[in-house]
């Protein structure tokens, strides 16, 4: 392995309310570097200091240069200096990512030379000084109380290896059912998906037979609640009962978790009786595939893991400022240009992806594959087209349609973009979105289409002549009402196609959506109650507990963000999404719970799994299990078996300290 030719060191010096960062660039290569610029990704506002020029800062992508143009000779080093808020770099995840040097050769050609991060003094200044970060002016309110139960849990669940989520009722019996090589089964039509799944994942062959010969039988039970199931395992026969396909599948998930492979290659199940049903009908996971692109195989693997823990909605974040990931036939530039970033692309590098072309997208065939794979596992796929903010990839792909040249509005969003918001007064905006939604509705058969609607910054549209005329025409008074107008138009457009609009909680700003909308309550626990009581269907995902891109703890080297605090396993398990102020009607509209994984810091499948597990197990239990039946101590007794199963599946997870 050759030594790196370019190394970047970071020296961090807090001074009062400011953090000064000295960046030392070491040229260890054989060539002098002329007219050079240092580039890296840091999603925080910064100020250049003496001797340093801030050439550009787009999103997280920073370009610095020496104030006096000069050559960096071979074997030499030099420093640049910038500053920002004292808490902007507190852990390894905060350090500038993906550094590289752009420099001009003698013929004028610009070369991009990747660098590695060398030394830094982060640990010496960060230990014990975690500073909560403000985020968009939103106050994050933690849950008022833990859902840990004071009563002693029944021993059955942990004694049999322990199902997650914890079943409603479970009675351990003596004995076990054992078999090897093959098991005869019979199943009704509604159990076909469950049987196919078990046949695919069990380490023995399943042979379909008549009811009298079958050792594994799936039978209809009309009185069983929707998605609920009964599971009876006796020494000679296993019976799964349910009233619908989802119930049979959930029963199969519990059966799968309980199976043990012995040293003699036998498959064994403990004798047990289970009656089980979910607390919420909506049990979800959102995965951001825009900031970092995750391959289709990673999506399919994630769906498999969701199914094991009875999660039934996959919220697929497909578009954002940093990438458009969905093929739209009517607008090919979205994936020809908007799906890629790097030097020479319309989108700059972001989040450490460097100068080379980075990105990807899902073809229509990819979408069909994912939707079919999810449906076979009783999972509904919810596509998200994030608008009107978070739309930079779309805008850069079709500026002729989506940009008003006379708009001189000045704004800066939460991710430091100044050009990422669609204009609700332009006819091109509606032409674009209606066409995109036509194809989205065709590709995704589920009932929901998510339109984001989050983080539209202050100052947007103020200097847009088209928007000012639009405000007067419709007697509106604020930007919120402009966003509300756009979302109401799209809500009606989706309704004509049999779809319901979903959005982040900001979607209700502007008071234009009707109550058929479903909102993700993310900024705290009370807001979910407020929205449900108001009349909206609510899926709770309060950031301090459900955002799994948050770091586990305050350790400097633990990956993740911390703007909403840190989120360890006890904290996640203690999440109770409802409050005592929820009315009877509000409780009816409180339809579920969702885990959320933003991917700014998540690039590989291993990183994705590390952030999900084991915290996703805790959230799955919150979504399925009644609060009175949750118990932290019992969860801890069940957890080791679950982690062992994940390891057998080759799933990366965070280790749990004793």
Instruction: Give dist(CA 432, CA 395) in Å, integer.
Output: 10
C-alpha closest to that of 649 among 185, 307, 219? 307
What's the first-to-final CA gap in the chain, in angstroms? Answer: 38
Annotated active-site residue 455? The verdict is yes
Tokens representing residue 482 in the block = 């402009």
473-510: b (≥16 Cβ within 10 Å) or e: eeebeebbbbbbbbbbbbbebbeeeebbbbbbbbbbbb
CA gap 214, 187 in Å, rounded? 9
DSSP string, 209-245: --TTT-SEEEEE-TTSPTT-EEEEE-SS-EEEEESSH
Q: Is residue 14 a contact partner of residue 90, using CB atoms and an 8 Å limit?
A: no
For residue 628, list its beta bridge partners. Answer: none
Q: What is the DSSP letter of 191?
A: G
> Helix-strand-coil percent breakdown of the chain, rounded to 5?
30, 30, 45
Among 49, 41, 39, 40, CA closest to 19: 49
Angle in degrees, 0-180, between the axes of helices 605-612 and 615-624, rounded to the nearest 10: 50
CA dihedral angle for residue 386, residue 389, residue 395, residue 399, rounded to 10 degrees: 140
d(C-alpha 70, C-alpha 557), whole Å = 36
The catalytic position among 41, 275, 320, 345 is 320
List, in sequence order, every residue forming a beta bridge with 391; answer none if it has no partner.
none
- In 3D, which of 621, 585, 594, 615 has the Cα closest to residue 448? 594
376 three-state secondary structure: helix
d(CA 549, CA 542): 13
Report the candidate in 403, 520, 388 with the shortest Cα–Cα distance to residue 457.
388
Report how many helices (DSSP H) and strands (DSSP E) the chain contains, helices first: 19, 30
3-class secondary-structure state, position 649: coil
Alpha-carbon distance of 582 to 531, in angstroms, equals: 10
**Of 345, 348, 386, 455, catalytic:** 455
Q: Is there a catalytic annotation at residue 657?
A: no
Among 61, 313, 390, 509, the one annotated catalytic? 390
Tell me which residues are annotated as active site: 320, 390, 455
């Amino acid at each position: 392995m050759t030594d790196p030719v370019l190394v970047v060191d970071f020296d961090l010096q807090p001074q009062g309310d400011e953090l000064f960062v000295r960046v030392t660039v070491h040229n260890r290569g054989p060539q002098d570097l002329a007219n050079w610029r240092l580039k890296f990704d840091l999603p925080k506002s910064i100020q250049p200091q003496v001797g340093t020029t801030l050439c550009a800062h787009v999103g997280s992508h920073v370009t610095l240069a020496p104030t006096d143009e000069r050559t960096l000779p071979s074997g030499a080093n030099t420093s640049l200096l910038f500053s920002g808020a004292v808490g902007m770099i507190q852990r390894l995840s905060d350090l500038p990512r993906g550094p590289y040097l752009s420099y001009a050769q003698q013929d004028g050609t610009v070369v991009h030379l990747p660098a590695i991060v060398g030394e830094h003094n982060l640990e010496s200044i960060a230990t014990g000084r975690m500073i909560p970060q403000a985020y968009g002016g939103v106050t994050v309110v933690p849950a008022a109380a833990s859902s840990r139960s004071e009563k002693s849990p029944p021993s059955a669940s942990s004694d049999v290896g322990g199902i997650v989520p914890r079943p409603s009722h479970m009675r351990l019996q003596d004995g076990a059912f054992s078999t090897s090589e093959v098991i005869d089964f019979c199943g009704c039509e509604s159990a076909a998906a469950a049987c196919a799944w078990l046949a695919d994942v069990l380490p023995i062959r399943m042979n379909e037979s008549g009811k009298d010969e079958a050792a594994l039988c799936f039978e209809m039970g009309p009185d069983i609640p929707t998605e609920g199931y009964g599971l009876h395992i006796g020494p000679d026969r296993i019976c799964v009962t349910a009233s619908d396909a989802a119930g049979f599948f959930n029963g199969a998930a519990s059966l799968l978790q309980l199976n043990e492979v012995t040293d003699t290659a036998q498959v064994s199940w403990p004798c047990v009786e289970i009656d089980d049903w979910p607390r919420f009908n909506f049990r979800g996971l959102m995965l951001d595939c825009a900031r970092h692109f995750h391959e289709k195989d990673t999506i399919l693997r994630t769906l498999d893991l969701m199914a094991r823990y009875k999660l039934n909605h996959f919220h697929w974040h497909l578009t954002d400022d940093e990438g458009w990931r969905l093929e739209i036939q009517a607008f090919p530039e979205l994936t020809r240009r908007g799906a890629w970033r790097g030097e020479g692309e319309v989108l700059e590098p972001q989040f450490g992806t460097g100068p080379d072309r980075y990105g990807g997208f899902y073809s229509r065939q990819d979408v069909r594959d994912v939707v079919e794979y999810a449906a076979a596992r009783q999972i509904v796929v919810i596509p998200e087209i994030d608008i009107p903010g978070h739309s930079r990839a779309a805008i850069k792909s079709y500026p002729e349609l989506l940009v008003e040249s006379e708009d001189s509005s000045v704004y800066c969003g939460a991710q430091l973009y100044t050009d990422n918001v669609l204009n609700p007064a332009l006819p091109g905006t509606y032409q674009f979105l209606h066409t995109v939604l036509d194809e989205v509705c065709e590709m995704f058969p589920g009932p929901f289409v998510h339109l984001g609607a989050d983080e539209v910054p202050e100052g947007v549209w103020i200097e847009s002549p088209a928007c000012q005329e639009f405000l007067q025409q419709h007697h509106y008074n604020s930007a919120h009402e402009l966003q509300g107008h756009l979302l109401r138009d799209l809500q009606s457009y989706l309704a004509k196609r049999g779809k319901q609009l979903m959005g982040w909680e900001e979607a209700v700003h502007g008071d234009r959506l009707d109550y058929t909308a479903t909102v993700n309550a993310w900024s705290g626990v009370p807001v979910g109650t407020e929205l449900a009581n108001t009349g909206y269907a609510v899926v709770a995902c309060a950031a301090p507990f459900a955002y799994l891109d948050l770091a586990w703890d305050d350790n400097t080297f633990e990956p993740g963000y911390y703007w909403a605090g840190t989120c360890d396993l006890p904290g996640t398990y203690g999440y109770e999404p409802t409050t005592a102020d929820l009315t009877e009607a509000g409780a009816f509209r409180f339809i579920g719970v969702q885990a959320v994984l933003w991917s700014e810091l998540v690039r590989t499948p291993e990183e994705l799994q590390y952030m999900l597990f084991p915290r996703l197990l805790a959230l799955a239990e919150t979504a399925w299990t009644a609060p009175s039946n949750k118990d932290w101590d019992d969860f801890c007794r069940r957890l080791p078996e679950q982690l062992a199963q994940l390891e057998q599946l080759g799933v990366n997870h965070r280790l749990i300290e004793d």
